[in-house]
Structure 1
Amino acid sequence: MKIAFISDIHGNASALAAVLHDTRSKSVDQICVLGDLCYRGPAPKRSLHLIRALQSRVIKGNADEWVVRGVRRGEVREDAIEMMNVERDWTVSQLDQEEIDYLHNLPTELHLNVEGVSISAFHATPGSLFETVPPDADDAAMRQKLMSAADTDVYVYGHIHKPFVRYMHGKIIVNTGSVGLPFDGMTKASYAIVQVEQGRVGTSIERVPFAAEDVIREYEEVRYPNAQTMARIIRNGRVM
């Protein structure tokens, strides 16, 4: 069984389409989506349509919660909150109420058992859509924030836009990175594969090119309210 975990699409339908094509080329059996589907990209509706067409398991991310109810103080830097809510309002204007209700009703975690191998997946941590656990967090922080809610073999999350695989205390921790907005300096979409076969477990991070300049033009064409900032992130693969 080969499972792809994708996360943090952020309304970048072009990158999402490239990733979905890549999963087909790798004969993936199942796709799980770990949140942040629409917000901050030029194609929120098309991204959501592609995800829902998968008829797969999808959970909520912090950006999906923001689409539903707005960005609140304390969740982002004070100097960013006004513009982020302008971006949120633009995203909402592209969706209908049924689509917003879909985001509202998404669960916040999923659990799989594949041939006796247990997998827990969530957006940021099991208890929060917003908490950040970076790749260089120490073992104690990883254990407390990611592993305390369930005793499973593999833990998978998104949120930080920086992919990695780490082995700790006989467990595997995987971060998917971001499909639509990578922050690690590599301008390629990122997702993770977990493969289980006869008790063996393999993990990999896949990097997929997408037409970044086309996405940047799309921001401009739809008159996205923070297009220049988003263009810099897309072009450089990091927050500037």
Structure 2
Amino acid sequence: MAEFDIDRFAVIADIHGNADALRAVLTDIAAQELRSVINLGDHLSGPLAASEVAQILMARDFVAVRGNHDRWLLEQTPAEMGASDRLAYEQLAPDALDWLRALPPVAWVGEDIFLCHAMPEDDNSYWLERVTAAGEIVLRDRSEIAAAAEGIEASLILCAHTHVPRRVDLPDGRVILNPGSVGCPGFDDDLPVPHVVQAGTAAACYAVVERREAGWMSSFRHVPYDPMRMAALAREAGRNEWAAAVASGWIGGA
């Protein structure tokens, strides 16, 4: 692995098989002269171009962790998988699954940057947001966010999973940052109650992080690209809700 620049880097997450969004983000990362990338998981699952994304990522030496959908691709049989995981699994060669299998659930970069997919001990729970009984996505109470970070002695904590770009500063100065989603700007879920997450934009999202004397500086970059090929793949797979989300950033379409 090439030497990681711990003072300035990109953070990507939740690609979900969207090869064209990933290519757009990687082009923008290069234009920003960022030579180090952290990838927070859920790389391949989705009715899009899982094999293409696997080939792109395996050719690079990004620091990466495994997401919940990555784990399900490894732990479940095709018959047990949800539709998005199964459609991705059918595209994947053994070397792609081996690459996923080698990824850790959490990781450190140096002694000051901690990364996980969702929460430190749970890859399938929202950290910075909670779902209300009415199915609304709202910012979680700061005390609850801080409680989940107890014992993590890192000034920068990176998480993903909700596809929502967000930064939370804890009272002790630690920063928790979610870079948003590269390739899946909208989804729905039944747990804990039915709810919808939608970005309202089809742009591919990632974060740029830079260490400054006063603390961590961060920004979110929304990169426009043509999502029509990915939306067509979703429709061909019978996943119209994915097609709408990829094309517009809204589950119901534009």
Q: Report how far residue 166 of structure 1 moved.
A: 2.0
Match runs of 1:55-134 below 5 Å: 55-70=61-76, 85-113=82-110, 118-133=112-127, 134=129
Q: Report how far residue 199 of structure 1 moved.
A: 6.4
2:86 counterpart SS class: helix
**For residues 113 and 230 of structure 2, what CA distance do their matches in structure 1 show?**
33
Partner of 2:248: 236
Partner of 1:10: 16
**For residues 211 and 204 of structure 2, what CA distance do their matches in structure 1 show?**
23
Whether contact under 8 Å (2:175, 2:216) holds in the other structure is: no
Partner of 2:195: none
Q: C-alpha offsets along residues 109-141 of structure 1, whole Å, 9 cap, x if unaligned?
A: 12123xxx8111110011011011216011111
Partner of 1:75: none
Q: Does 1:180 align with 2:174?
A: no
- TM-score of the two chains, using structure 1 as the length reference: 0.85
Q: C-alpha offsets along residues 30-58 of structure 1, whole Å, 9 cap, x if unaligned?
A: 00111001101410011011112121211
Whether contact under 8 Å (2:47, 2:84) holds in the other structure is: no
**For residues 69 and 49 of structure 1, what CA distance do their matches in structure 2 show?**
21
Cα root mean square deviation, aligned: 2.2
Q: C-alpha offsets along residues 66-116 of structure 1, whole Å, 9 cap, x if unaligned?
A: 2112399xxxxxxxx98x623322211111122112212310112123xxx
**For residues 39 and 149 of structure 1, what CA distance do their matches in structure 2 show?**
31
Q: C-alpha offsets along residues 179-218 of structure 1, whole Å, 9 cap, x if unaligned?
A: 0012321221111111125565311111111212222123
Change (3 A) 1:71 1:231: farther
Partner of 2:216: 201
Whether contact under 8 Å (1:70, 1:85) holds in the other structure is: no
1:218 counterpart SS class: helix
**For residues 201 and 159 of structure 1, what CA distance do their matches in structure 2 show?**
21
Q: Does 1:227 align with 2:230?
A: no
Q: Report how far residue 227 of structure 1 moved.
A: 2.5
Partner of 1:160: 162
Whether contact under 8 Å (2:158, 2:178) holds in the other structure is: yes
Whether contact under 8 Å (1:164, 1:176) holds in the other structure is: yes
Change (3 A) 1:198 1:132: closer
Partner of 2:133: none
**For residues 86 and 41 of structure 1, what CA distance do their matches in structure 2 show?**
8
1:205 counterpart SS class: strand
Contiguous gaps of at least 5 residues in structure 1:
73-80
Structure with bigger helix share is 1
Partner of 1:142: 145
**For residues 77 and 170 of structure 2, what CA distance do their matches in structure 1 show?**
34
Q: Report how far residue 176 of structure 1 moved.
A: 0.8
Change (3 A) 1:181 1:204: same
Give the one of 12, 22, 34 matched to 2:28.
22
Q: Report how far residue 29 of structure 1 moved.
A: 2.4
Partner of 1:76: none
Contiguous gaps of at least 5 residues in structure 2:
1-6, 130-137, 186-197
Change (3 A) 1:205 1:4: same
